[in-house]
């Protein structure tokens, strides 16, 4: 069954001086301020589209990797994933780097790296970011 998730942004003003409020509408878990400065300079307590993409990618990748590991007979005890999304003003998103550390009983480093590479290539968010360079560092804890 297909699902649809919804987020909204209310924006006021021009790009450089304006401000917005991102609402995670489907879950209802929060509203987050966003500005151009929080995107192109320092966050200063505000989010950015790239941070939201990083959150989506790290969670999607973790789910895909967990599923693949369990399906191969090595369910993870824990996965810690970080996604770093790089934004260059005037160019756009220039890359994503995933870093994952796993506690996977019974699996060696080579098997973990292979599973992580497969998850990187096949998680739905990675697929949505086709055309963006996605790199990976994977290691066992």
Domain hosting 95: range is 49-140
CA separation for the pair 105, 120 (Å, rounded)? 21
CATH number of the domain that residue 79 is part of? 3.30.300.20
* This prediction's pTM: 0.95
pLDDT tens digits, one per residue of 74-86: 999 999 999 999 9
Q: Does residue 32 share a domain with residue 78? A: no
> Which residues are within 8 A (CB) of 50 and not within 5 positions of it... i.e. 6 or more apart?
39, 85, 86, 87, 93
Helix (H), strand (E) counts: the chain: 4, 6
pLDDT tens digits, one per residue of 113-134: 999 999 999 999 999 999 999 9
Helix (H) or strand (E) holding 2: none
């Amino acid at each position: 069954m297909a699902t649809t998730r919804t987020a909204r942004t209310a924006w006021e003003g021009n790009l450089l001086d304006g401000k917005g409020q991102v609402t995670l509408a489907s879950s209802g878990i929060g509203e987050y301020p966003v500005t151009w400065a929080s995107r192109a300079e320092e966050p200063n307590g505000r989010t950015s589209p790239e941070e939201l993409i990083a959150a989506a990618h790290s969670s999607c990748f973790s789910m895909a990797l967990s599923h693949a590991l369990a399906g191969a007979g090595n369910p993870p005890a824990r996965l810690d994933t970080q996604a770093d999304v790089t934004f260059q003003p005037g160019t756009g998103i220039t890359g994503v780097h995933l870093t994952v550390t796993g506690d996977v009983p019974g699996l060696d480093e080579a098997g973990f790296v292979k599973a992580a590479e497969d998850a990187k290539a096949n998680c739905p968010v990675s697929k949505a970011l086709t055309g963006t360079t996605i790199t990976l560092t994977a290691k066992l804890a």
